[in-house]
Structures are given as structure tokens and as C-alpha cells.
Amino acid sequence: MSKLELHNLNKIYPNGFQAVYDFNLEIEEGEFIVLVGPSGCGKSTTLRMIAGLEDITSGDFFINGKVANNLTPKERGVAMVFQSYALYPHLNVFDNLAFGLDLQGLDEDIIEEKVHHIAEVLGLSEYLDRKPRELSGGQRQRVAVGRAIIRKVDIFLMDEPLSNLDAKQRVIMRSEIIELHRKVGSTTVYVTHDQVEAMTMADRIVVMKDGYIQAVGTPEELYFKPKNAFVAGFIGEPPMNFIDVQVDNNILKFKKADLQLDILKHFKLTEVPREMLFGFRPEAIVLGHHQEMVNFEGEVELTELLGDTTNVYVNIGDHHLILKVEPYDTPKIGSFCKFSVPYESIYLFDQESGITLNL
């Protein structure tokens, strides 16, 4: 296992475009770190700098306390799994798994033992004679993962490895990768744009936007105590509801609805900007009006039955909100829905900076 340290990393391409700004992170031995963010946020570029596939423009990258900026991928001891499976189509599963070991010049007996062990761990034993074209997407992805980990490297890097799989396969592969990480214990850096993958797999999540780190924390920390509105909106499904409000004599006035809330006395705020975002998660609501909560009423525009829950789209004036309710509590389209939000589930953000004000 390896400890990784990234100090003030910047990546600027020859055309002047800067993909990563001042990236700072320490990754402990055996930790599973997920880099998450929208397309173009710099997460894959950061991973490629860790791998040695992209030059670091400035800053320092350390592996176990030693500067690794100029080391080759082989010298860094990394294995990588990409979005594309990158399997050799003319080789069967056994030979794909054995390819890297053959290059190392290992004895045939050792190679066979390692391949069969990895195949058993990944549930591929019965497919060793098959070519990649004869496998499902999930099976091919398992072969790609197996080919990376069979070398027993200390650093395991994964760049959106599940994006080509269907929903069911992604769920299965997520659990398999987590179990594999527990068994192997390699330090793992995993890139995805899918916040569900990040929440279910990571020890810690790094949220990125426009090349900058927005927040670093455990899934629980980022969900319950988001540092800013971007993180609050990115983590959680459906995303957090945001309402533009003005503050006038400590009264919150909804910009797009005839609604005012005298609730600031319930929060300990060090500053009260004139423009705020009022936020709450769809799953935080309670149907009906309740004392000691903030009460709302809106017209139901649309409902989406998901099985275990229903998403209810509600309009309050020109504010469009999503509520998550039990299926048997689903209000009818066109009806007016009363709901409440507990004070502890409300988030207030500075509208200009996006910083969370009531943490």
C-alpha cells in the first residue's frame, strides 16, 4: 500500500487552458478515494497526473514521501482501469489476465496460479477460454479489473470504469469492486461523474468543479454538512431544492412567490447577506403542516413513481421544487400539497459566494 500526497498541483496545456488549479490532497495507505464532479471538472486529468500519463505543470506529487513527478507509470507502481475495457480481442480471458505477468517473465506455473486465483475472486473461472466478444459488458469489465489487480500493485486507479454498463450491472460491479478493495487493500483513486457511485464506494469523496476542489470529506459529511451550494446540489438524488430569497428586516422573502418567512431567529448566523439561497433536500419533507417546522403549500405538477418512493414536482409561485414521498402518500396532479421542512433540515447559503451560512 502507498500513501499519496498531492501538493499544489496545476495542469496547464500548451494552448493555455488550465484544467486543474492548486490541487491539494493527502491519501492514506489503503484508502478508497473518489474524485467526483461534472464533465470537464478536471477529475480525469488529476487521475492521469497521478498515473504519470499527464505531466504536472507545477506542484509536487509524492508516493510514500518521495517526489514522483518524473517517474514513469511502471516506476510508480500503478495499475489503471479505463472507461473502455481495452481488452485484447484476439486473446481469451486467461491470456488477457496473464498478459502483464508474461511481460514480467514469471514462470508458467506461477502465472497459472495467479490467473486462476483472480478468476475465482471475480467469478470468471468458467469464462477463461472465451474471447472478449463472447462476454457481457459486466464480464468484460471484470476482466479489465482483474488484469489491473493481478500484478498486486500498491496504487489502483480507475477512470469511470462502470459508465458503459447498464444500471443492474453497475450495482453489481460497485459491490464487487468494494469487496475486492477490502481483500486487496491497495490505495485506490476512483473517478466518476455519478454521485451515487461516490456515495456508496468512497472512504472520502473529493468534489471538483471547473478544476478546483470544492470539498473533501466522507459521504456523510458531504451529505449532511455541505460546505457550499454546489456540493449540496451535487450530492444527493434528487438534488437539493434551492429557492432564491431576499432578506429584509430579518424576513426571508421569496423572489418568485408571494411568501415570507420569519425564521432567521432559529439559526445562528455570523453574517446575514441580503441575497440568500434557501435549501432543503427532497427527502427531508414531511407531508402536512406541523408546528415547529416551516410550512409550505404548492401545486402538484407531476409525479414519478419509482417503486419504493415517488418524486413529486411542486410549484410555489415560479419556484419549482421536488419532494420525495412514500408511494401510498402520493398527492394527485393538479392538487395543492401541504408539506413541512424541519428547521434542522434547512440550509442557508450566501447567494454570491455559495458558502453555507448555518453550519
Give the CATH number for residue 132: 3.40.50.300
pLDDT tens column, 260-301:
999 999 998 988 999 999 999 999 999 999 999 999 999 999
H-assigned helices in the chain: 43-51, 73-76, 93-103, 108-121, 137-149, 167-184, 195-201, 219-224, 229-234
What amino acid occupies position 160?
Answer: E
Start-to-end C-alpha separation, the chain: 35
**CA angle, corner 158, sides to 91 and 153, nearest 5?**
75
In a domain, 321, yes or no: yes
Confidence band of 323 (pLDDT split at 50, 70, 90): very high
Instruction: Give 359 or 272, the one with higher predicted confidence.
Output: 272
pTM of the entire predicted model: 0.88
pLDDT at 73 > cutoff 80: yes
Please check whether residues 273 and 146 belong to one and the same domain.
no
Can you give the residue range of the structural domain that contains 276? 240-350
Domain tally for the chain? Answer: 2
Residues 223 and 252 placed together within one structural domain of the fold = no
Question: For residue 235, is it within any domain?
Answer: no
Residue 265 is assigned to a structural domain of this protein: yes
Percent of the chain whose predicted confidence (pLDDT) is above 90: 73
- 294-321 pLDDT, tens digit per residue, is 999 999 999 999 999 999 999 999 999 9
Domain boundary among the residues 230, 262, 282 is at 230
Q: 342 and 258: one domain?
A: yes
Q: What is the pLDDT of residue 79?
A: 85
DSSP 155-222: EEEEESTTTTS-HHHHHHHHHHHHHHHHHH--EEEEEES-HHHHHHH-SEEEEEETTEEEEEE-HHHH
Q: What is the pLDDT of residues 130-174, one digit of tens each?
A: 999 999 888 888 888 888 778 777 899 999 888 777 788 788 888
Average pLDDT of every residue of the chain: 92
For residues 221 and 204, what is the distance between their CA atoms, to the nearest angstrom? 9
- Which residue do the cell numbers 454538512 mark? 225
- 355: in domain: no
Task: Answer whether 106's CB lies under 8 Å from 97's CB.
Answer: no
